[in-house]
Amino acid sequence: MKTFVKNRSSFSIALCFVCVATFAAAPEFFAQRRTNAGGRVLRAAENISGDRFEYQAVTPRGARILSVSRPHAETLRAIDEGLTQLFAVARKNNYRSRTNHSDYTIFIARPDRTQNRQGGYSPDIAVGAAQYAGGRYDQGGYVYAAGMVVALETCAFMIAEHNQNWSRVSDAVRFEGEHLVLYHNDPARFQATRDHSRGGGHPIMK
C-alpha cells in the first residue's frame, strides 16, 4: 500500500461503478479537486498517488501522458481508443467542447493491487473511502479505484498501470473522461452524476 493512504482524508472522493464485460464491477473515483495547468496538476497527481511521474509521452492521436515507467505502446493505443469512443458518444449527445485527444492529460500510476477479490486482473489505486466509509467497497478506510479525475478545468485524470488486458485501459479512460466531458458541456448532468455513492454507474452517456 502506498504511504499516501495515510493522508487520504484531504480529498473528497466521488465513487463510480465501472461495469464492463471484460472485468468484474470495480469502483473508480473522481477527486473533486480543481487545479491549474502545469506544475499544480502534477503536484496534485503526486499527492493523490504518492508516485513520481518521471516519464512523458504523447499518444499517436495527441493525448499527453505522464507515467511512473515508460508506457507500453499498447497502453498508448488503448488510451487513444478509449478517448475515441468517448468523443463519439459525446457527439451523439451534442457535446462538442473538450472532444479532442490533445485536450487530455493522463497520469499512469503504480497500482496498489493487481487482482480483485475474485482473483481477476484488476490494477487499481487505493484512495480514501470518504463518504463511502462503511459501504461494500470500504477496505478499512480506503477503496480501490480504477481511476480518478485529477483536474476538471484542464481535463487530467489518473489510471493504474497495466501490463495486459488493454481493453480495460480503454474502458477506464472512456469512463473517467465522461465526467470531464459533462463538466465542460452539461453542468447539470455533471452534478447529477458526479457522485455514484447512492447508485448509478458507467457508461453515463449512451
DSSP 81-121: HHHHHHHHHHHHTT--TT-SGGG-EEEEEPPSEEE-TTS-E
Question: 143-158: per-residue pLDDT in tens?
Answer: 788 888 999 999 999 9
Is 199 part of a structural domain of the chain?
no
The pLDDT score that the predictor gives to residue 26 is: 43
Indicate the range of 28-32, 85-89, 194-198 predicted with least confidence. Answer: 28-32
> Which residues of the chain form beta strands (DSSP E)?
13-20, 23-31, 55-58, 64-67, 105-109, 113-115, 121-128, 142-145, 147-151, 156-160
Could you tell me which residue, 13 or 171, shows the higher pLDDT? Answer: 171
The pLDDT score that the predictor gives to residue 141 is: 75
Q: What is the mean pLDDT of the chain?
A: 82
Ramachandran category for residue 43: left, alpha or beta (phi over 0 → left; psi -120 to 50 → alpha): alpha
Could you tell me which residue, 58 or 133, shows the higher pLDDT? Answer: 58
Could you tell me which residue, 78 or 195, shows the higher pLDDT? Answer: 78
Q: State the Cα–Cα distance between residues 129 and 139, nearest whole angstrom.
A: 8
Q: Cell numbers of 67, please?
A: 507515467
Q: State the Cα–Cα distance between residues 148 and 30, nearest whole angstrom.
A: 4
Residue 203, preceding bond cis, omega within 30 degrees?
yes
Indicate the range of 11-15, 34-38, 56-60, 156-160 predicted with least confidence. Answer: 11-15
Indicate the range of 8-12, 24-28, 31-35, 199-203 predicted with least confidence. Answer: 8-12
Could you tell me which residue, 165 or 136, shows the higher pLDDT? Answer: 165
In contact, 182 and 189? CB cutoff 8 Å: yes
In contact, 81 and 22? CB cutoff 8 Å: no
Is 53 part of a structural domain of the chain?
yes
* Per-residue pLDDT at 186 exceeds 90: yes
Is 198 part of a structural domain of the chain?
no
Which amino acid appears at position 178 of this protein?
Answer: E
Is 120 part of a structural domain of the chain?
yes
pLDDT (average), residues 167-176: 95
Is 195 in a helix, a strand, or coil? coil
Is 187 part of a structural domain of the chain?
yes
Range of the domain at 23: 3-193
Rounded to two decimals, what is the model's pTM?
A: 0.84
Report the domain count for the chain: 1
Is 19 part of a structural domain of the chain?
yes
Is 56 part of a structural domain of the chain?
yes
User: How far is CA 39 from each of CA 36, 42, 46, 156, rounded to the nearest angstrom?
Assistant: 8, 5, 10, 12
Q: State the Cα–Cα distance between residues 113 and 122, nearest whole angstrom.
A: 7
Question: 48-101: per-residue pLDDT in tens?
Answer: 899 999 999 999 999 999 999 999 999 999 999 999 999 999 999 999 999 999
Distance of CA 197 to the CA centre of its chain: 16
Is 202 part of a structural domain of the chain?
no
